[in-house]
Amino acid sequence: MDNLVPQINPDVLQNEAIITPLIKPEAPCLLPAFSHTPPATVVGRKRWPSSLEAQGFSVAQQPKLVDVYVWVMKYLEPVDVNSLKCIATDYQYGPGFGPLWFYRPWSPHRRRRWGFGIPSTNRTVVNDVPPPDLFIHFAWQFLTPRERYNISKLSSKWFLYQRLRHRAVKEPIRILLQPRVVTTKPTRLPLDRAILYASALLLFHFYYGDFVRWLGGEYTNRNRDWDNTFTAIEQRREREPPKGYPPSDLH
């Protein structure tokens, strides 16, 4: 019986292209770039924008004694202090009810624009109903010494605010920026340090974000090694979960 299977010479076959399915490589995980300084393309005043100091004394005006009374009182004799009370009504209630001008320790816009200070709607908290007791902080400059004295007698919170503001304009809050000798977490907060914290928070208009960014150091994540942190996160994503546990969802 003849062989019906044709004989094919492999030397004369044409080499056809082998079609292989295209496998798209996994896209690398692009981490956000964190920087605490402006990029080189931003020059001039745009690098460190200033902010309005509504509680600071205007440079366009000439200061009077009542404007600096809280800082010069310690240089006056008791007889001079009593004499001032007879000169004008602005001095009758003492320096604690004067204008008590102050400036924020630094411009908060610097950290709000660069690095971790950039505002985002994903991590922003707003208060549509501000506390009614907080209005005295922003209305202080528009009140007379007598009005400030009377309003501090209406509420215990306003009384404590007046006492705190009187101390805040004189407290050396830069002590908070010095590294602590004992790096362990304290079990209790000393009263003197608590007053410094409260005074600094007042100087930032009770804006906790600006206050914490000013503290920096151990109070923020700025000094962390973020390269190693993100590497550890990536390695954890690739590790199999323990038996009986669902896979980790880090998205």
Domain ranges of the chain: 49-120+130-222
Q: Within 13 Å, how many C-alpha atoms sit on residue 162's CB side?
A: 24
**Predicted TM-score (pTM) of this structure:** 0.68
Reported as a single tens digit per residue, the pLDDT across 79-109 is: 998 888 888 888 999 999 999 999 988 776 6
pLDDT in tens, 137-153: 999 999 999 999 999 99
Over its C-alpha atoms, the chain yields an Rg (Å, rounded) of: 33
Q: Which of 26-35, 64-73, 128-137, 154-163 has the lowest mean pLDDT?
A: 26-35
How many whole angstroms from its chain centre is CA 236?
30
